Amino acid sequence: MTKQLHKTCTCENYSDLELSRDVISKRIKESKKIKKHLEIKSKSNKGHHLYQCKFCNQLWQLSSAWNWGEKDYLFKIPKTEIKEWNKNPFVSPADMTMFAASMNLYFERHKLVASENFCRRDNCERKAILKDVLCKNHFIESLQNIGTLPKYPEGKIFDPYTF
């Protein structure tokens, strides 16, 4: 059985995705081959598909990369219950790539430095940033609310796909 596992399961050949356009593009091309050893477990109402390797039980999520022409691709996800996944699939690396690029562009132009004052948001104990009354997190949230910065992508965030 062990020999068969190693001959047919290729999950270990695919690492977590780096948040870059080139890596996402490569995975889009590889996904058809990866899918050959997977079986579908569920489909979300947001268009994501949950797959599981027939041999090692690794879970994979199929999502569409909208910035790559809505092309589908697969990425590994942590163990989860199908019921939980249906409620809230994982955030896709492609969405995090685009989000991180927008956020990095903003932060290259605007350095947010903590001051000696505390954030004025109720129950917040973090330091406010210079020239403002809010901490970095609440300042970013306020910019997201008015559309200056993008909102976090939909889905459950997990390592290594964080910002």
For the chain, the domain total comes to 1
Q: Where are the alpha helices (DSSP H) in the chain?
A: 2-8, 21-35, 82-87, 93-109, 136-145
Q: How far is it, in rounded angstroms, from Cα 125 to Cα 117?
A: 10
Give the model confidence (pLDDT) of 54-72 as tens digits: 999 999 999 999 889 889 9
At residue 148, φ and ψ (nearest 5 deg) are -75, -35
Q: Establish if 143 belongs to a structural domain.
A: no
> Is residue 79 assigned to a domain?
yes
With respect to residue 42, please indicate whether it lies within any of the assigned structural domains: yes
Is 97 a member of any domain?
no
Write down the pTM of the prediction.
Answer: 0.80
Distance CA(10)–CA(13), nearest Å, equals 5
Question: pLDDT tens across 114-136, in order?
Answer: 999 999 999 999 999 999 999 99
The whole domain housing 17 covers 2-89
Q: What is the mean pLDDT of the chain?
A: 91
For 143-160, what is each residue's pLDDT tens digit?
A: 999 999 999 899 998 888
